[in-house]
Structure 1
Amino acid sequence: MSKAYVFTEYGGPETQTFVDLPRPVPGPGQLLVAVHAAGVNPVDWKVRAGYLRAVLPLTLPAVLGTEVSGVVEEIGDGVEGFGIGDEVFGALPLAGGYAEHALLPAQTAAHKPTAVSFTDAAALSVSAATAHQGIDRLNLTPGATLLVNGAGGGIGVAALQIARDLGVTVIGTASPGKAEFASSLGATHVAYGQGVAERVAAVTPNGVDAILDLVGGDALYAVAGLAVDKSRIVTAVDPTAASELGGDYFQVAQNGEALAPLAELVESGMLDPHVTKVAPFTEAAMALTAVEAGHSLGKTVLKVR
């Protein structure tokens, strides 16, 4: 048997519980991974709440979690490039990560460098990949000004570093308590909430060249007017706002080829996932609650083994 943390129906945290499930068997194109660490992301509670069930319905109960790192225990038919005992990390198709064993599609998996910890690797497949691909879409040049809307979480932390290393001037909106943290990553911190546009304008009176939005909704509309060119507003969370504003919505492309360069950046020291909270698997509920409440600083990861 394999212990897993699931939600039994769509709804709030009260639907979450630990269960013992049969050890999964890999199908064609899959790796059975003994999970060492699992990333905790906002998308996890959004899946549980049912926000994505219209497009990606799940059979309930469903295991929470969308990114893992661990060791390959079995290999399904048709898999090439991986062997039993390989240390890997990767993204799961919407669910399955909060568990002792996970079925990881080989096409979304990458080899974990020995020098990169399991906890750091578990922070890359969703958060860092989203940041990297979002910034890539903006095609920023040195000297440009980027506003990262929602800079305090795992995606924002990666985005600040990636943009900084491109020679971009970075402004990040986050709660007041995350000011020192954002500044340590080379960004100018601006507190979010009422009056945020005026506070950003005080820092950059001529507006910003681009916006990477990780919040959506009213928080995005509040700062959208700061973009000199609305087509250079990229959001990872709000397709409706992107359409109305004339910006761009994207979903992270989950493939191993996109993940390998991120692991190399971590290995070289150029990217720090800033895993600021490593919670034991038994505390999955508390870890997800903190992320859902927006109180997490940096990235939260569950240590499964």
Structure 2
Amino acid sequence: MRAIQFTEYGPPGVLHVAEVAAPHAGPGEIRIAVRASGISPGETYIRSGTMRDVIPTTFPYRTGFDAAGVVDEVGDGVTDVGVGDEVFGMADSAVRGANADFAVLAYWAPKPAAWSWAEAGGAAGNVETGTRVLDRLAVGAGDTVLVQGAAGGAGTVAVQLALARGATVIGTASERNHDFLRSLGAEPATYGPGLVERIRALAPGGVDAVFDCAGGALPDLVAIAGDPARVVTIAPDFTAAAHGVHLSHGAPAGETDTIIGAADPLASHGLAIATTLAEEGRLHIPIAATFPLTEAPAAHELSETHHARGKIVLLT
């Protein structure tokens, strides 16, 4: 089968299509014929070598964490799906390899009929991340939540998941994305200098929780929240601990504990919640762009601009 991998650190051009043996579903796993799979911004940092001192990499490194497709193999102990079912989900974080013709999923849920393959293929990672962080922040009805970097793949999903919990959401983005954020149900704000004052004007009663998807503004975000314990970041900002802010990640246990802290438990329960919300029309997965599997380097190039509105997806 075809799979995207790299065998050395470098620019997007080090990515290439390799012919590799197809994986098989182990106990508690399923294998899918992939229809679409997501590009993870975190993997662009790994591929470039930026994270080499944080996440050890064994070459060849196969990319891809979330995917959607048709079940074609079911492992021992799996009873909730069968061959031919359409699902979306995530690979084991220690294995990855979802940017391929076939992928083994460790977590999954039924693909909502309301979603295209592209939407389903790019959903699981951001749904899990959003659920994990909102759970940690205990976001619920009546809360006011600030999502920093709300127009990206993770931010757009976080906004909708917070709204589904009954929260009021303020989202930061460039001005060109403000109408887009309003369409999702968020009150938009521009990031950058003066952020604290702008947010206080929008939320005179204060902000209950801050979900940082962008990085680079932790002092302002702590000031807005009034307590670093009410701020969680998913950006690769290694100054988080110095600000008293939790950096939430799902990297394999033991890989990064001494540098950015232990991984949080994966919020895989969020996938089933997402299916329900999608079928109710309350969760959409904005797609920034789709590329054929063979154009993975171009997809990584777009991701590295940090201006993609929504998720970048590879179609198989």
Contact residue 90 and residue 125 of structure 1 kept, 8 A:
yes
The code of the aligned residue for 2:234 comes to A
Q: Structure 1 residue 151: deviation in Å? A: 0.6
Distance between the aligned counterparts of 2:299 and 2:10, measured in 1? 17
Q: Check the 8 A contact 1:210/1:229 in 2, yes or no.
A: no
Match of 1:296 in 2: 308
Unpaired runs of at least 5, structure 1: none
Q: Contact (CA 8 Å) 1:121, 1:263: kept in 2 or not?
A: no
Partner residue in 2 for 1:97: 98
Hey, what's the Cα distance between the residues in 2 that align with 1:37 and 1:151?
Answer: 23
Of all paired residues, the percent bearing the same amino acid is 39
Deviation at 1:112, TM superposition (A): 2.3
Aligned pair in 2 of structure 1 residues 168, 49: CA closer, same or farther (>3 Å)?
Answer: same
TM-score (norm 1): 0.87
Tell me the amino acid that sits aligned with residue 249 of structure 1: L
Equivalent residue number for residue 251 of structure 1: 249
* Equivalent-residue separation in structure 2 for 1:166 and 1:257 (angstroms): 15
Using a 3 Å threshold, how does the CA distance of structure 1 residues 86 and 255 change in structure 2: closer, same or farther? farther
Counterparts of 1:33 and 1:25 in 2: how far apart (Å)? 10
Q: 1:161 to 1:75 in 2, by over 3 A?
A: closer
**Once superposed, what is the RMSD of the aligned Cα atoms?**
2.5
Instruction: State the distance in 1 between where 2:207 and 2:194 align.
Output: 17
Cα 1:54–1:84 shift into 2, 3 Å: farther
The residue identity in structure 2 corresponding to 1:274 is P
Q: Deviations over 1:7-57 (max 9, x none)?
A: 121232232112222223334443221100101221221232345555654
User: Counterparts of 1:183 and 1:6 in 2: how far apart (Å)?
Assistant: 38
The answer on whether the counterparts of 1:209 and 1:229 sit within 8 Å (CA) in structure 2 is no
Distance 1:176 1:30, change over 3 A: same
1:267-286 aligned at under 5 Å gives the runs 267-286=279-298
- The range that moved more, 294-303 or 47-56, is 47-56
Q: Residues 102 and 166 of structure 1: is their aligned pair in 2 closer, same or farther, counting only changes over 3 Å?
A: closer
Q: Is the alpha carbon distance of 1:163 and 1:258 closer, same or farther for their aligned partners in structure 2, counting shifts above 3 Å?
A: closer
How far residue 287 of structure 1 moved from its aligned partner, in angstroms, is 1.8
Which is worse superposed, 130-139 or 253-262? 253-262
Aligned length: 300
Taking a change above 3 Å as real, the CA distance of residues 76 and 42 of structure 1, as seen in their structure-2 partners, is same
Instruction: Give the secondary-structure state (helix, strand or coil) at the position aligned to 2:224.
Output: coil
Moved over 6 A (4+): none
Gaps of 5+ in 2: 251-264
For 1:294 and 1:239, how far apart are their aligned partners in 2?
Answer: 15
Change (3 A) 1:10 1:146: same
After superposition, the C-alpha distances for 1:188-246 in whole angstroms (9 at most, x for unaligned) are 22222333333333433554222111122x22233321112321112223574443333
Give how far 1:78 is off: 4.4
Shift in CA distance, 202/279, structure 1 to aligned 2, threshold 3 Å = same
In structure 2, distance between residues paired with 1:27 and 1:56: 25
1:230 aligns with 2:215: no
**Equivalences for 1:33-44 in 2 at 5 Å?**
33-44=32-43
8 Å contact from structure 2 (residues 114, 279) kept in 1: yes
- Give the aligned residue type for 2:287: V
Q: Which amino acid aligns with 1:124?
A: A
TM-score by length of 2: 0.84
Matches within 5 A, 1:45-64: 45-51=44-50, 57-64=56-63
Per-residue deviation, 1:292 = 1.8
